[in-house]
Amino acid sequence: MSGETTLDVIADAVRCYPQAGRIYVALSGGLDSHCLLHWLSGSDFRDRLSALHVHHGLQSLADHWAEACAGLCATQNIPFELLKIQLSPGPGESIEAVAREARYHALSEYLGPGDLLLTAHHRDDQAESVLLQLFRGCGIPGIAAMAPDRPLGRGRHLRPMLGIDRATLTHYAERARLSWVDDPMNQDRRLSRAYLRHEVMPSIRCHWPGITRSLARSAQHAAEAKDLLGQLARADLELMGWRSAHPETLSIEHLSALNGPRQRNALRFWLTACGVSVPSQSRLQRILDEVVRARPGRQPRVNWSDVSVRRHRGLLVLVRSLPSINPDFEAALDLDQVLDLPDGSRVWLESKADGLLDAGCLDEAGLSVAYRRAGARLRLPMRAGSTSVNRLLQSAGVPVWLRSRIPILYQGERVVAVGERWIDRRFMSRPGQPAVSFRWQSECLFDTLLARIQSGRSDTGRTT
């Protein structure tokens, strides 16, 4: 493939977005990204072109690479930005995977609405990715490897060189007399990709010279199959009454009506639509075995990363990590005072003519805020006797994992109000008398999640 033809291929990918803003090249300083930047510097898009370099700090030469990229852009009068990140891999985590995730996070944060990020992944990279995914036992989504076009942050990520092989890039760079830097990690055989590239692929090519083209074609076939599986999963979910406006819940009854492969396919699509990483096959099966098929009254959950899948009233519910709380927390609360709770939410009392709390309760024993206490009860309007707070929350459909997190207003040992929703009738305001409101501001709890759960409740109305 000639340089002119290659530029046409890259330009065609960009032209698919005529309303795009800035065009950024992820510039590592290596041969591949240098070629991409060099091609684009002579294109019609030059006036919108910029380069981004992510500084991982993994190598002693990292500063030198950043300076080389900055110098290259300066000589070609191309705007350049340096993005510094810090990596903190956990025990057993792959430094390659951690660096890749941190790199794309930094790049996605930088993109503005409609901006394009171009990376220089080529056909040999794609072939290596397919083999690595196969060695890990991945399914169709893994074998599809790298997508040529995908959303990223507020913009899009394009890989316009997936049809170009490494030999073409090397030939072009030598003819154009480009200079580039080499990352020693690319030669480190202890790393999976480097071992595959230098030890495995040369042997395969001896028998199958066209292996990279064949593997890249397999990735394209897998990408088509992945798209079809996605369409099937969306159709299955929509038949369940699933709505993307409230994606965190899924009907257990309707999911159970599918066969095993379609259940797993639907779960993968559901989790991806919720914006979380899809767990391993074994953990996915645990969701089906332990949560979906749990007996009534059980409260199973499956955790991974910073999320979990739980069961509530005939629904699967995706629960994101919640801040820890001290169950013994208690603090006094005065009028117009904003109190920060352990989970980051806030409560306060404010004077309001239409408030439901009698302002007179402020003149008696002091008010305090705490979480649910054993045996706590309140007297509801239009009901005889008292009701336990626990039964009240259960009847209202508040999930088990949220019941202990709702702030309760106390006067001594007496419950005054539970969240913003329930007030003991002994403390309710009367017409024409001064009144106050108990307010609770929480970004991740109660009203939002409860509304989503209630909107996604299955038609059967069964409880578990």
- Predicted confidence (pLDDT) per residue in 387-417, tens digit: 999 999 888 888 888 888 899 999 988 999 9
Calpha distance 266→253 (Å, rounded): 13
Cβ contact 58:99 at 8 Å: yes
CATH homologous superfamily of 3-219: HUPs (3.40.50.620)
Pairing of strands 422-423, 414-418: antiparallel
Q: pLDDT grade, residue 207 (50/70/90)? A: very high
Which pLDDT belongs to residue 361? 79
Q: pLDDT grade, residue 444 (50/70/90)? A: low
Q: Once rounded to an integer, what is the mean pLDDT over residues 128-153? A: 94
Which pLDDT belongs to residue 464? 34
Q: What angle do CA 174, 179, 181 make, to 5 degrees?
A: 120
* b/e sequence 94-104, b meaning 16+ C-beta within 10 Å: eeeebbeebbb
Q: pLDDT grade, residue 364 (50/70/90)? A: low
Which pLDDT belongs to residue 460? 30
Cβ contact 359:429 at 8 Å: yes
Q: pLDDT grade, residue 158 (50/70/90)? A: very high
Question: Which of 237, 206, 225, 80 minimizes the C-alpha distance to 140?
Answer: 225
Question: Which of 331, 363, 348, 353 minimizes the C-alpha distance to 438?
Answer: 348
Q: Once rounded to an integer, what is the mean pLDDT over residues 266-284? A: 92
Question: Three-state SS for 155?
Answer: strand
User: Which is more confidently placed, 62 or 205?
Assistant: 205
| Count of other CB atoms within 10 angstroms of residue 214 | 13
Question: Which of 285, 313, 290 minimizes the C-alpha distance to 301?
Answer: 290
Cβ contact 147:187 at 8 Å: no
Portions of the chain given CATH number 1.20.59.20:
244-321+444-464
Q: Once rounded to an integer, what is the mean pLDDT over residues 328-338? A: 91
Among 76-90, 238-252, 357-371, the range with the most confident prediction by mean pLDDT is: 76-90
Which pLDDT belongs to residue 443? 56
For the chain, the average pLDDT equals 88
Least trusted range by pLDDT, from 296-305, 382-391, 454-463? 454-463
In the chain, % of residues over pLDDT 90: 56
CA 365, chain centre distance (Å): 47
**318-to-138, 294, 384, 393 alpha-carbon distances in Å:** 23, 16, 37, 20
Q: Which CATH class is domain 244-321+444-464?
A: mainly alpha
Q: Does pLDDT of 98 surpass 90?
A: no
Q: Does pLDDT of 456 surpass 60?
A: no
Q: Which helix (H) or strand (E) holds 308?
A: strand 307-312
Least trusted range by pLDDT, from 52-61, 76-85, 214-223? 52-61
Calpha distance 324→229 (Å, rounded): 38
Check residue 50 and report its DSSP letter. E
Q: pLDDT grade, residue 455 (50/70/90)? A: low
Calpha distance 263→257 (Å, rounded): 9
Q: Which helix (H) or strand (E) holds 439?
A: strand 435-441
Tokens of 275: 């914006």
Q: Does pLDDT of 308 surpass 70?
A: yes
Which pLDDT belongs to residue 459? 35
Portions of the chain given CATH number 3.40.50.620:
3-219
On the CB side of 160, how many CA atoms lie within 13 Å of its CA?
Answer: 27
